[in-house]
Amino acid sequence: MIQVEERKQLFLGLHDLKPILEPQSVAVIGASRQIGSVGHAVLSNLLMGQFTGVVYPVNPKARSICGVRTYQSVLEIPDFVDLAVIIVRANLVPQVLEECGQKGVKGAIVISAGFKETGPEGAKLESKVKEIAQHYDIALVGPNCLGVINTDPNYRLNASFAKEMPLPGNIAFVSQSGALCTAVLDYAKGQGIGFSKVISLGNKADVNENDFIAYLWQDHHTQVILLYIEELSNGRKFLQLAREITGEGDNRKPILALKAGRTPAGARAVASHTGSLAGSDEVYEALFAQAGVLRADTVEDLFEYAVAFANQPLPNGKRTVIITNAGGPGIMATDACVRYGLDLAQLDEKTLEQLRSKLPPHASLQNPIDLIGDAQSDRYEAALDAVLDDPNVDAILVLLTPQAMTDIENIAYTIVKKSKRKVKPILACFMGLVDISSGVKVLEENGVPCYSFPEDAIRALAAMARYVDWVRRPRTGYKVFPVDTERARKLLSEAPISEHGFIPEEIALRVLEVYGLPMLPWGVAKNADEAVLVAREIGYPVVLKVLSPDVVHKFDLGGVQLNLKNDDDVRQAFEKIMNSVKQHIPNARIEGVLVQAMAKKGREVILGLKRDPQFGPILMFGLGGIYVEVLRDVTFRFAPVRELGAYRMVRDIRTYKLLEGVRGEPPADIDKIVECIERLSQLAIEQDLIEELDINPLIAYPQGEGAVVVDVRIMVNR
Amino acid sequence: MIQVEERKQLFLGLHDLKPILEPQSVAVIGASRQIGSVGHAVLSNLLMGQFTGVVYPVNPKARSICGVRTYQSVLEIPDFVDLAVIIVRANLVPQVLEECGQKGVKGAIVISAGFKETGPEGAKLESKVKEIAQHYDIALVGPNCLGVINTDPNYRLNASFAKEMPLPGNIAFVSQSGALCTAVLDYAKGQGIGFSKVISLGNKADVNENDFIAYLWQDHHTQVILLYIEELSNGRKFLQLAREITGEGDNRKPILALKAGRTPAGARAVASHTGSLAGSDEVYEALFAQAGVLRADTVEDLFEYAVAFANQPLPNGKRTVIITNAGGPGIMATDACVRYGLDLAQLDEKTLEQLRSKLPPHASLQNPIDLIGDAQSDRYEAALDAVLDDPNVDAILVLLTPQAMTDIENIAYTIVKKSKRKVKPILACFMGLVDISSGVKVLEENGVPCYSFPEDAIRALAAMARYVDWVRRPRTGYKVFPVDTERARKLLSEAPISEHGFIPEEIALRVLEVYGLPMLPWGVAKNADEAVLVAREIGYPVVLKVLSPDVVHKFDLGGVQLNLKNDDDVRQAFEKIMNSVKQHIPNARIEGVLVQAMAKKGREVILGLKRDPQFGPILMFGLGGIYVEVLRDVTFRFAPVRELGAYRMVRDIRTYKLLEGVRGEPPADIDKIVECIERLSQLAIEQDLIEELDINPLIAYPQGEGAVVVDVRIMVNR
């Protein structure tokens, strides 16, 4: 848990959203008499939604709209105004906003489109709007958004042009796409899903998702936060905030995110849509993992997870029991458990006894518990009683297929009754659509999420189990190694830079040495004689590598000679390197060679660091060679990385088994690899001149025997 | 396309299902007056469904049921009887069936439960029932099933206890789970999905899925065949049939299958459910790939694919266009295209011009085509016209979100109108649930499948594209290499067998030689002197391997010595092997050593063959070493494998890129690997004594340079 001081830090720079979400008076600037227009819809929605404060329509041409008196401008309103909802043409927005500033308005929602999304002209207009908002300290949502909705009965604010007020509920939905809000509101209406807040972010000129998640964290009407995101405005801040919101304190809340533009082609579409480029998907994957944000693949998943979190207690673990009245769907659910990482609970002997005494002899008592096709509510009740008390059961899925005599509604009421105990999550899956609908209604109205197919329910339970894993993870700290930071900075700031942006390898090696990464003995030599002297000092066998700012792919150009066993080898290798490099690049400036001890064989891994322009330094880990090239089997985390995070980077690659040792090989020194990642993390944070860094390979030896850096490249940006 | 003779072969041994699905008179044996009982439901369903033939209830205790005169037994019915639906207690079924046989009934549906699914006693009863059916040549569906439905207006047969007759349609659903049939019927009712036939297979004592798919192939009311399968009764027959049905001739039909019990834990559940063990998932995966069967992961997928196939023309390829009125959902669809293997169509210049002239300036003309939030039917129409004519577009997804003024129904009618051209598949996704429902209804009633989320629609299009790939695949034959089959058989039948079931390696090598697999020079030696002679003849370097029926893991026991360069090396290696093996297994019978040329380095792959008790010989291919052990990166196909199939085995591994050459390595000799697989396939078919065979490794050299078998183990079963 963070300290008070740190928490203050967390909220620093965030907007106060009270004027937006809890206003007492709202001006609708651009309200219109024309039914069907956005300017009419917003005003009418505020009125029909029974806003608890006062609404002031602003329209210089009308006397009243919807029977409410209008004003010529916001300045004329004879009252204070908390929130201005602006629906005027884009080019008029700056002037209107100026007036709001003069009036002392503290919140604005700019619904009007015609800004950044339309091109450079619009972007300029948007900057102007942003400046005005900052000048007057107005929290501004949008432009180009649908508006916001707060179902809190103290406000009942529908400041949007969405058709109608959703049901109240404990789910908050924050979306970068306004159209998705309308679709989601319609979907939710059909499913009986309620919301605490619905937020359309629009172009995020000023207020962004970070302001809202911080607000929603403190909002006691909100229990689950849903995000639809195309790109984050400030990924670093998001990471800090989301990590606290999802994982810390009694007030923690799950955040579920749908990130669109996931794939390269998808990302292109994002760019053409909002005029801003999305970060690559790996970056977001790392971000969400590190922030404890659960990622959904589709809108459907997002809401299927949300209703589980919003209505049911969290499970204590992954051990799931399936209660069913039909074998086939039970098998599907079992398949899904395995696919999504849940365990099938092994029922306690007491449970089995209890089931045996209450269920017919043909019923299958093993998990899935098959109550047989003619099961009525008494069998469901018996099974639920037994598994709710079973210490080996963490979560429950109740399946029903509508068979000849199944009393669906009655079974639904039984499930509801049992779920009131609130000790374990109970999800239902009533398969079908028509006959089962009355039962589904009973469940949904009473807080038992009901899914159409077993796989959906299991996926939701798996999401809950993942969240519990996150909440309960061991807390580790950031390690800080004693390091001569200044010396490294000096090395990096004074090193010559090649035309490709790299610093010389010998300086890169020194920087790593400063940060305590495990190195092979090495030295630099200008000629063959020097090389021999250095080699003798290091001890044979050695490796020679050309030092030249003009040679990037030194291996390919014969600039590296391996496994040199004696003085002669070194001399010959030196000549070979000089000849080969000169042959390929006649004008190459050659500064000599690097002489390095030849590394013993071991397991090759790679470590990397890249400074993302938006997100800052991100670390990479993977197995070396073809595992990276062919399988792209790497993991990412943002620096600084905690000890547990560094471990997870290593453990989460698909080929982790290789590090644990296969075919009788000893396990690799994973502790040492983790330490290297942590040292690299510190380097990333402290040395912001570094743009990119690749250690490829780091050779890891068996457990307890360490690891060594073999090759390193550092790109700097000064 | 297969020949007439072959086609006859295909139908050999299958049941005539006309008495089951096209009866003119049906006896309901065990019909009951008790409302709510299964015996009442079946009779009442036949009557309410307006069966076009005559129904005869059989019940010795009632005079009439539902107003229809009853008979004491089937023998008393004064008419011929095509089909008997049997709902009596399990132990009475044999007697009832006897009477049916005597009556000359040719089809029976045994709905009664209490057979194999209940344990060994029930299994015995089931065998008896099966015997009687065979004796009288009765095609018997079940026992333990829901019954069958045929919506064909010439029959209107609801011989089931499902609540009501589904809508007529061109989808056939065949399910091993009766409960799933009821759930699916209810789901389909809600979605407006119609069926040609609905079949509950039950325990499959006699009639199984093969009989039904063969029937449905010829049924002109059926266009798409859906299967829910826990295990296949005869996988080989299924493969032959399904391959023809899905891929050949003008009458081809897609088969979509949901195979439950996919994972080990899932498979356990199957076993406890139907009392028969399912084959492992890899076997089914290979089977479906080879048969052109499209696999669905969930019931939802199954039907979402089905409605696309049932209503829309097949696409010409993968180039997909997305038309939308909102950016966010367009991005989601784009993401899904990439994830599920579709291409985003690059629109033709003519199309862009046309769009430019008809759409507002802010509209995005790039794919996804964004019509902007205020789009009405005129923009949808313009976009559809343009892309339907675009030669670069194969398939179309139309997205709609319900925005303020969207005239949803009108847009739906426009889509329907355009879809009538039937030149390209058009799928729709109207996001939401309530407001969009009238539009969705218009689409569904007019054959345009409409999905709730973009990903679902894209997955359906991707399934169609995969099917088109299958239909258009190049047809290759089975290669038959000239081989001395008899010699190999003699070797296999005369070889000594170790206690673990293996034949000596030198005989295994000879068998492979007979089948023309590429071998290293080799010989056998009893002592060190002989070994030297053989080695000289082969040429150095060589490898020595112990020959002993008692040594299974010869590597681990020091029974293999590599890279022997001269006579001395060979002598020393011989001693080493003898000492090491004797040390580990003092009583090991040592028959000498195998002397083999040392293989040059190359890319290690593995080839394998396993005779599945149910499915027959299955071939395996993978990269050697850790790729198999850690990544389980292998592919399977049933033997015999066609040339294309062998290629696909190689191409479908995840690490295929390694064979194509990475890091400047030359590509491996894939043609040679493929030939080896084909030779192994022939061996698998011709030599049924072989239970298992592993070539590990086969070393493949650069393209054109071949491959060699290094190590082989053959397990026989005599």
Q: Residue B151: inside a domain, yes or no?
A: no
Say if residues B178 and B162 touch (Cβ distance below 8 Å).
no
Measure the CA–CA gap between B493 and B687, rounded to whole angstroms.
Answer: 10
Both B296 and B412 in one domain: the answer is: no
Taking the model in full, what pTM does it have? Answer: 0.89
> Which residues are registered as beta bridge partners of B611?
B617
Sheet holding B542-547, edge to edge: B522-525, B592-597, B542-547, B560-564
Three-class DSSP category at A672: helix
- Of A36, A183, A261, Cβ closest to residue B331: A261
Say if residues A202 and A147 touch (Cβ distance below 8 Å).
no
- For residue A193, give the chain B residue with the closest CA: B433
Interface test with A, best of B164, B182, B369, B663 (most A CBs within 10 A): B182
Say if residues B593 and B602 touch (Cβ distance below 8 Å).
no
A344–B265 CB contact, under 8 Å:
yes
- Residues B472-497: b if buried by 16+ CB within 10 A, e if exposed: eeeeeeebeeebeeeebbebbeebeb
Measure the CA–CA gap between A72 and B482, rounded to whole angstroms.
Answer: 97
**Residue A279, pLDDT score:** 40
**Residue B277, pLDDT score:** 26
If one compares B691 and A663, the residue with the highest pLDDT of the two is B691
Measure the CA–CA gap between B571 and A21, rounded to whole angstroms.
Answer: 89
Both A285 and A330 in one domain: the answer is: no
Does pLDDT of B269 surpass 70? no
CA B139 to chain centre: 25
| A38 neighbourhood in chain B, CB within 8 Å | 404
Both B584 and B711 in one domain: the answer is: no
B265–A338 CB contact, under 8 Å:
yes
Three-class DSSP category at B234: coil
According to DSSP, residue B473 is labeled S
Burial degree of A305 (CB within 10 A; 0-12, 13-18, 19+): buried
* Shortest Cα distance, chain B CAs vs residue A227, angstroms: 13
Say if residues B226 and B196 touch (Cβ distance below 8 Å).
no
3-class secondary structure for B541-610? CEEEEEECCCCCCCCCCCCEEEEECCHHHHHHHHHHHHHHHHHHCCCCCCCEEEEEECCCCCEEEEEEEE
**Residue A272, pLDDT score:** 27
Both A277 and A142 in one domain: the answer is: yes
Both A566 and A631 in one domain: the answer is: no
| A329 neighbourhood in chain B, CB within 8 Å | 177, 179-180, 183
Both B305 and B321 in one domain: the answer is: no
* Shortest Cα distance, chain A CAs vs residue B153, angstroms: 24
Say if residues B558 and B565 touch (Cβ distance below 8 Å).
no
B263–A335 CB contact, under 8 Å:
yes
- Backbone CA torsion sign across A641, A642, A646, A651: negative
Both B204 and B267 in one domain: the answer is: yes
**Residue A702, pLDDT score:** 95
Cis peptide bond upstream of A521, omega within 30: no
**Residues whose CB falls within 8 Å of the CB of residue B179, separated by 6 or more in sequence, listed in order:** A325, A326, A327, A328, A329, A373, A401, A403, B146
Q: The domain that contains A608 carries what CATH number?
A: 3.30.470.20
- Of A118, A368, A401, Cβ closest to residue B180: A401
| Domain end marker among A441, A456, A472 | A472
Both B320 and B465 in one domain: the answer is: yes
CB pairs under 8 A between A and B: 262
| B331 neighbourhood in chain A, CB within 8 Å | 230, 260-261, 266, 269-270, 273
Q: How far does chain A reach from its first CA to its final CA, in angstroms?
A: 37
According to DSSP, residue B668 is labeled B
Q: Residue B7: inside a domain, yes or no?
A: no
Say if residues A323 and A355 touch (Cβ distance below 8 Å).
no
| B326 neighbourhood in chain A, CB within 8 Å | 177-180, 183
Instruction: Give me the long-range contacts of B206-209 (CB less than 8 A, separation at least 24).
Output: B206/B15, B206/B130, B206/B133, B206/B134, B206/B138, B206/B139, B206/B140, B206/B141, B207/B15, B207/B17, B207/B20, B207/B139, B207/B140, B207/B141, B208/B232, B208/B233, B208/B234, B209/B174, B209/B176, B209/B233, B209/B238
Both B433 and B569 in one domain: the answer is: no
- For residue A145, give the chain B residue with the closest CA: B373
| A34 neighbourhood in chain B, CB within 8 Å | none
Q: Residue A513: inside a domain, yes or no?
A: no
A404–B186 CB contact, under 8 Å:
no
Cis peptide bond upstream of B640, omega within 30: yes
- Of A265, A298, A630, Cβ closest to residue B662: A630
B179–A327 CB contact, under 8 Å:
yes
Other C-beta atoms closer than 10 Å to the C-beta of B610 total: 19
Three-class DSSP category at B461: helix
Measure the CA–CA gap between A523 and B201, rounded to whole angstroms.
Answer: 77
Nearest to A693 by CA among A511, A478, A521: A511
Give the E-state strand segments of A325-384 in sequence order: 343-344, 369-370
**Residue B488, pLDDT score:** 96
**Residue A555, pLDDT score:** 80
The predicted-structure confidence for B2-58, as pLDDT tens digits, reads as follows: 456 667 788 888 999 999 999 999 999 999 999 889 999 999 999 999 999 999 999
Both B276 and B327 in one domain: the answer is: no
The predicted-structure confidence for B559-589, as pLDDT tens digits, reads as follows: 999 999 999 999 999 999 999 998 888 888 8
| Domain end marker among B286, B311, B336 | B311
- For residue B329, give the chain A residue with the closest CA: A180
C-alpha separations of B456 from A460, B466, B668 in Å: 18, 15, 39
Instruction: Give me the long-range contacts of B485-489 (CB less than 8 A, separation at least 24).
Output: B485/B686, B485/B687, B487/B514, B488/B514, B488/B515, B488/B683, B488/B686, B488/B687, B489/B686, B489/B687, B489/B689
**Residue A280, pLDDT score:** 66
| A331 neighbourhood in chain B, CB within 8 Å | 230, 260-261, 266, 269-270, 273
Say if residues A703 and A668 touch (Cβ distance below 8 Å).
yes
**Residues whose CB falls within 8 Å of the CB of residue B393, separated by 6 or more in sequence, listed in order:** B319, B320, B321, B345, B347, B351, B387, B424
Q: Residue A507: inside a domain, yes or no?
A: no
> Binning pLDDT at 50, 70 and 90, where does residue B97 land?
very high
**Number of domains making up chain A:** 4
Q: Residue A8: inside a domain, yes or no?
A: no
Average pLDDT over every residue of B100-117? 95
- Of A186, A265, A272, Cβ closest to residue B402: A186
Interface test with A, best of B187, B318, B335, B459 (most A CBs within 10 A): B335
Nearest to B144 by CA among A373, A333, A360, A407: A373
**Residue A523, pLDDT score:** 95
Q: Residue A509: inside a domain, yes or no?
A: no
Q: Residue A5: inside a domain, yes or no?
A: no
Which conformational region is residue A66 in: left (phi greater than 0), alpha (psi within -120 to 50 degrees), or beta?
left
Q: The domain that contains B294 carries what CATH number?
A: 3.40.50.261
**Residue B552, pLDDT score:** 75
Burial degree of A134 (CB within 10 A; 0-12, 13-18, 19+): exposed
**Residue A262, pLDDT score:** 62
B260–A328 CB contact, under 8 Å:
yes
Say if residues B187 and B301 touch (Cβ distance below 8 Å).
no
- Backbone CA torsion sign across B42, B44, B49, B55: positive
The predicted-structure confidence for B123-168, as pLDDT tens digits, reads as follows: 999 999 999 999 999 999 999 999 999 999 999 999 999 877 899 9
Average pLDDT over every residue of B475-479? 89
Both A336 and A285 in one domain: the answer is: no
Q: Residue B477: inside a domain, yes or no?
A: no
Phi, psi of B291, deg, nearest 5: -95, 0
Q: What is the dihedral of CA B500, B505, B510, B514, to 10 degrees?
A: 50
- Of B182, B297, B373, Cβ closest to residue A403: B182
B269–A405 CB contact, under 8 Å:
no
Amino acid at B548: S
Average pLDDT of chain B?
91
Both B93 and B40 in one domain: the answer is: yes
Return the CA Rg of chain B: 31
Return the CA Rg of chain A: 31
State the helix-helix crossing angle for B349-358 and B377-389, rounded to 10 degrees.
Answer: 170
> Which residues are registered as beta bridge partners of A26?
A55, A83
| A35 neighbourhood in chain B, CB within 8 Å | none
| Domain end marker among A308, A335, A354 | A308
| B452 neighbourhood in chain A, CB within 8 Å | 187, 300
**Residue A5, pLDDT score:** 67
State the 10-residue block means of pLDDT for chain A, 718 residues long. Answer: 66 93 98 92 94 97 94 96 97 97 97 91 96 97 96 96 90 94 91 95 97 96 96 92 91 95 50 32 87 94 96 97 94 93 95 94 90 91 96 98 87 97 96 89 95 96 97 91 96 92 93 97 95 95 92 83 95 94 88 94 91 85 77 85 94 89 85 97 96 92 96 90
Measure the CA–CA gap between A413 and A411, rounded to whole angstroms.
Answer: 5
Domain assignment of residue A218, given as a range: 13-308
B334–A265 CB contact, under 8 Å:
yes
- Of A183, A269, A331, Cβ closest to residue B431: A183
